[in-house]
A and B are shown apart, each in its own frame.
Chain A
Amino acid sequence: MTNQELSRKFTIEASLDSIDDLAVKVSNEISGFMGSETGFRVGLIITELCTNIVKHGYKREAGKQIDVSIKTGDGNIEITIEDSSFFFNPLTIEDVDLSNVDSLQHGGMGIYIVRRLAKKLNYQRLNGKNILTIIL
C-alpha cells in the first residue's frame, strides 16, 4: 500500500447498472495505486451494499439516488454510502450459515462478505438518511 491519497464523491442513480458502472470505475482507480486485490474488494463492497439499498431500501423504485464517497490515506480506505430510503440498517442482517448450502441462496451473503472484508463498519440514521461507513 502507498500513502497516496484519493478523495472522490459520486451520486448515482439507484439502479443495478449504475452500481456496476461505479464499482468498475472505483475499483480501477484503487487498483492503480493500491493493487488489484484491494481494488476488487472495494468494488465488491460497493456492489454488495448498494445492491442491498436498491433491492431492500428503495425496492427498485425509479428516480432514487445513492451517494458514495471514497477517501484513502495512511493505508486505509474509507467508503461512505448514503441513501434516503426508510430506516434500514444492513448491519442487523444475520450472517448466512455457510454450512447450509440452502441458506446461501436466501440473502445475507453480501453483508457477510462485507463484514469479512472490512476492518470496521458503522451505521447511523441522520437527517432522514441511512449512512454507512466502511473502513478497510
Chain B
Amino acid sequence: MVITFELRVIEDKYAVIKTPLKTRITGDSSAEFKKWYESKNLTSYDAVIIDAANIAFIDSMGIASFISLYKKVVPDNKEFIVCSLSKELEALFKLLRLDRLFNIQYPGVDEAIKKIKAN
C-alpha cells in the first residue's frame, strides 16, 4: 500500500508533516517515509513538526524512521516535534523514552508553534 505524506509550511519557518489519511507506519512504509523526507529540504526550516493525528499505528521500523529524521534535523539546532499522538502511541514513545529526544506533549500543531514562538 502506498502512503501519502504531505508537507505544509507555515510562515516560511515551520515544516509540518502529515499523512492526509489514516495511516499505519510499519515495515516498507517506513522506508517510503524516509525516502520521501530525504527528498525535502527540511533543514531549511526552524522546526520540523510531525502531526501524528492520522497515524493510527507505528512499529519499531517506523519509529526508527522518525529517529533518523530527528538526527538529520536536530544537529542544525532545529526543533523536532511530534504532536497529536494518540494515547497508545504516546505510551509507546514513552516506553522507548523518546520523550527525552522529541517534544511529544503538544495536542496539535497550533499549540506546538505557539510554544516555539514563546521560547
Contacts and interface: CB of A to CB of B under 8 A. Distances in A.
A33 interface: no
Interface string A11-46: 000001101100110010000000011001001100
A37 B26 contact: no
A101 interface: yes
Given A16-B28, A37-B91, A51-B61, A101 B71 contact: yes
A109 B24 contact: no
Nearest to A110: B60
Interface string B1-27: 100000000000000000000001011
Interface string B69-100: 01100000000000000011001100111000
A85 to B, nearest CB: 17
A36 B63 CA distance: 20
B1 A17 contact: yes
A37 B88 contact: yes
B67 A105 contact: yes
B67 A104 contact: yes
B60 A40 contact: no
Contacts of A51: 26-27, 59-61
18 contacts: A23-B26, A36-B88, A40-B88, A43-B57, A44-B57, A44-B59, A47-B59, A48-B59, A51-B26, A51-B27, A51-B61, A101-B67, A104-B67, A105-B67, A109-B63, A113-B92, A116-B95, A117-B95
Interface of A: 16-17, 19-20, 23-24, 27, 36-37, 40, 43-44, 47-48, 51, 98, 101, 104-105, 109-110, 112-113, 116-117
Give 7 nearest A-B pairs by CB, closest first: A16-B27, A109-B60, A40-B88, A110-B60, A47-B59, A98-B97, A105-B64
